[in-house]
Structure 1
Amino acid sequence: MDEQDPLVFADTANNRLFGLPEVLDKNVDDIIVNECDTVLTKPPDRYNFGFLIFYVLGTCLLLPWYFFMTANDYWMYKLRNLPNETQLIFLLPNDNNDHSRLQANFTSFLTIAASVPSSLILLLNTYLAKKMSIHFRMISSLMLMLILFTITTILVNLDSDSWQVLFFMITLGTVIFLNIGSSIMQGAVFNLVSFFDSGYMTATVCGQALGGIVAALAQILALWWGASSVHSAFVYFLFADIFILISLVLYTILIKTNIYKYYVQDIPANAWIRRSSSTQYALLGNEQILTVNTYAVLKKIWKLGLSTFYNFLVTMSVYPAVTVLITSVNKEHTAWTDTYFLPVIAYLLFSTCDFLGRVMSNLIKMPVNSSWPAAILSALRTIFIPLMMLCNAKPRYYLPVLINNDQLYAVIMSIFGFTNGIVSNITMTSIPYFVDKHEQETASSLMITFLGIGISTGSLISFGMVNLL
């Protein structure tokens, strides 16, 4: 085939979905040979609309977690000390008068309630992918998240002082089902984006970090307006409702775009061929059916999976259970120390550096087909566990405060977030280098499973970390 000749859409039933033929410069990354012996060319993603939609969907994936996690002032108000506080045997004792037992234990329970059911669903992701379509999982999970977040918004303005423990239980129950919905959506989104070029995977992964920035900015703006913690939380959760609704609408638009039809609807999984400038394109449709052996895929990506697992284990061991307890060493009661220190340093700074790490990792030239750089960096992140434990977290009973400087804590948090972002993005976007195209959906499911187990394990560890302080 002449390298100078442009490619056009062939006049087939599949390609009529694209409308009029478009002439594109030939590029091996834009070529697919399907089982009908037809060369298809990639339609343009006009205005990068599909790319932006995956950014939004990635942002929505962790939105329930980020919004619940960063609404700390609201939860502390709802669970404050009351004269008739009920003593619960499953809560660890708290001798500090600044926090009630519900307050001191809430973040750890929130983390466990979010991560354990999430991990169980992610473990079942491969099974769910076989039983339920991506479209069904996307729509049902987004609807579930929207309904539960609406209930959470309604609860904000209800006086729960007389049923504080019940409110505690309802909140944890809501978190459990929200994260079940979020995990189903996460599996569906990564299964979906595995059909697309690697740039769309990057958009999804970066969008996850962007969710933390959105949540932190929403909280900071609510505090800046000077509203009470209750009124701020109402605006805060209402924003989450609107964002989830927007994500639902954008997904319904995505499935009608030409780029979606090209990657997902028109090309069966068994027609994909691994694309490389050195690859001779062979027709697969009628000659052989490509099957996926899960164990074989696991053997190819297990190092990437372990890197993802340990990266999130380290992160979740101290974030947010320990970091939410870290306060400014400045004893003066100012707006910065009392109001903005926690959301700016613990949430906005971490999420911003996490996002930058994911974006900048695309500029780092990593060795192709090598998983060791990510594995080494993931292992080195272990140092952040003792560093965070030695910061000014309160209440504490055993460990001394050795990092008694707000600026140093901010530097540690920045590197903590940045390295989390680098490892997260490198491991996910490296999948195409280790597996064939028809194996990428299974590989992405396995990577999400590793991620979920890491989050769950780290969350369980965080409960002990808080009580080691």
Structure 2
Amino acid sequence: MSVLDDIEISRKASILSIFSDKYEAHKKSIISEKGKEPKDILFIVHILCFFVGFMNIMPMVFFSTAQNYWMYKFRNATLDEETTSGKDRTALQSYFQSVQMVASSVPNVIFTLLALFYGHKLSAIIRSIGALAVQCTNFAIFAAFTYINTDSWQNSFFVLTMGLFTINSACTSTFHMSSVVLMAKLPSIYMFFFLIGQNGTVITTTLQIIALSVTDRSLITGAIYFTAGTILIGLTLILLLVGRITPVFKYYDVTNVKENKTEELKWSECKILIKKIWPCLVIMCGLLTSSSFVMPGIITLIVSENDTEKTAWTAKYFTPVTAFLIPEVVSILGRVTAKNFRITNTNKWWYIAVVFIRGVTLVPFYMFCRAEPRHLPVVFGSDWQFISIHAFFAYTMGFLLNVTFMSIRTLTDKPELGLKLLGLVASLTSAANTANGVLMVRLL
């Protein structure tokens, strides 16, 4: 999972509440009462859980990895080139990724709050189906625009695109909070497939690389990419509809599940929780703040040291491989490494210090890489320098996020509420820092 993926998961950390002892005991009692668990015919529910996990991440990171397509759509159309890069980049190209984060963050916070406090009013599966249906339509619209010439109305298309991003973000938040409730009803083996699916940025990045390798035309690449995305969402929707009638869903009564209102996060409990888990909240805020300055705004503007040669590596593969694929892999490695580490009242200041030092030393590094267009001097101009530091940034992000999540249970006797509060604070922090990427681009 990439850094972007880790940030997105950190906003919805309540998923881990299903691992509480109370929940496992309740599940065992259900199985003993109902008898033998039914078989998952053709592994439909296993596959469904993977795709549900994938859809928690894919709709948000999908657009960031389509960098080549957006650079074409918002290029300088007066130049006789497939796309413009480096010093020829337009303002729309330079600010696209940063503005996208702004357009996505506000609805994410709003719909996260709605799900936390009012999600119990409507069944989770109905909300999931509705969110997927809207997202499938949204992606189909993006796919249709790959066949429409928008050169003469780029500014209007930019505004329209941001509006569609807003809808996409609202649906993603709704689907995630709903799917967590559905997965919580199923045994741990299904949750395993759900979590594996959340590592799906590797899939989206690989899909983008395949689309780029098929053709040199950005519009055709975009058409292949967004059509594939539409199909994946449609497939998940179909699997969810089929899953409703499977013996497994019926056995665990997944179709009718709703959030329990008595377990919703209450404002009166926040003060006590904050006193216990404040180190995790501080670390989360620090990680998200540092990342907001560079991802995805700055990293998608960095070009290869051999950019002027216009090779396949520099023109098509450099950004998806170095900015997304490599960090995705090392981020997973960071989370695996963090398995046995925890934040305690004894070592909390060491973790806080590491997060602070990491932010103030690594964030400025990106400003002096080869991001274009720019006014500042290039200090770290080699490809290996950017790849190495960005990989280290991603590794430490994955490590520290995982430690933060898993430490909640060691700091409070109410991990479910603690993780919900952590997710809420993460959403608010992300929204408060949306302008940081735009600021960094302006300072270049």
With the shorter chain as reference, the TM-score category is 0.7 to 0.9
Which residue of 2 is the match for residue 311 of structure 1? 287
Which residue of 1 is the match for residue 124 of structure 2? 134
Structure with higher Rg: it is 1
Could you tell me how far 1:221 is from its partner in structure 2? 0.7
Change (3 A) 1:466 1:45: farther
- State TM-score, norm by structure 1: 0.75
Change (3 A) 1:61 1:371: farther
Q: Does 1:327 align with 2:316?
A: no
- CA distance in structure 1 between the partners assigned to 2:280 and 2:192 by the alignment: 16
CA-to-aligned-CA distance 1:236-293 (integer Å, 9 cap, x gap)? 00111111122223334555453785486799988xxxxxxxxxxxxxxxxxx88864
Change (3 A) 1:134 1:435: farther
Indicate if the aligned counterparts of 1:115 and 1:459 stay in contact, CA closer than 8 A: yes
1:208-219 matched pairs, under 5 angstroms = 208=198, 210-219=199-208
- Percent identical residues: 28
Higher relative contact order (CA 8 A, sep 6+): 2
Change (3 A) 1:59 1:316: farther
1:4-403 matched pairs, under 5 angstroms = 31-32=25-26, 43=37, 53-83=48-78, 98-193=88-183, 204=194, 207-208=197-198, 210-255=199-244, 256=246, 258=248, 261-262=251-252, 293-296=266-269, 298-299=273-274, 300-330=276-306, 331-362=308-339, 364-366=340-342, 372=348, 378-382=355-359, 383-397=361-375, 399-403=376-380
Could you tell me how far 1:462 is from its partner in structure 2? 0.9
* Structure 1 gaps, min length 5: 1-26, 85-95, 271-288
- CA distance in structure 1 between the partners assigned to 2:259 and 2:29 by the alignment: 11
Q: Alignment partner of 2:304: what SS?
A: coil
Which amino acid in the other structure matches residue 285 of structure 2?
F
Which residue of 2 is the match for residue 460 of structure 1? 435
Which residue of 2 is the match for residue 423 of structure 1? 400
- CA distance in structure 2 between the partners assigned to 1:355 and 1:387 by the alignment: 23
- CA distance in structure 1 between the partners assigned to 2:351 and 2:33 by the alignment: 37
Q: Alignment partner of 1:459: what SS?
A: coil
Could you tell me how far 1:40 is from its partner in structure 2? 7.2
Could you tell me how far 1:204 is from its partner in structure 2? 4.6
- CA distance in structure 1 between the partners assigned to 2:127 and 2:88 by the alignment: 43
Q: Alignment partner of 1:32: what SS?
A: helix
Indicate if the aligned counterparts of 1:79 and 1:164 stay in contact, CA closer than 8 A: yes
Change (3 A) 1:123 1:42: farther
Which residue of 1 is the match for residue 7 of structure 2? none
Could you tell me how far 1:328 is from its partner in structure 2? 1.1
- State TM-score, norm by structure 2: 0.78
Instruction: Name the structure with the higher helix share.
Output: 2
Change (3 A) 1:49 1:35: closer
Could you tell me how far 1:72 is from its partner in structure 2? 1.4
Q: CA RMSD in A?
A: 3.8
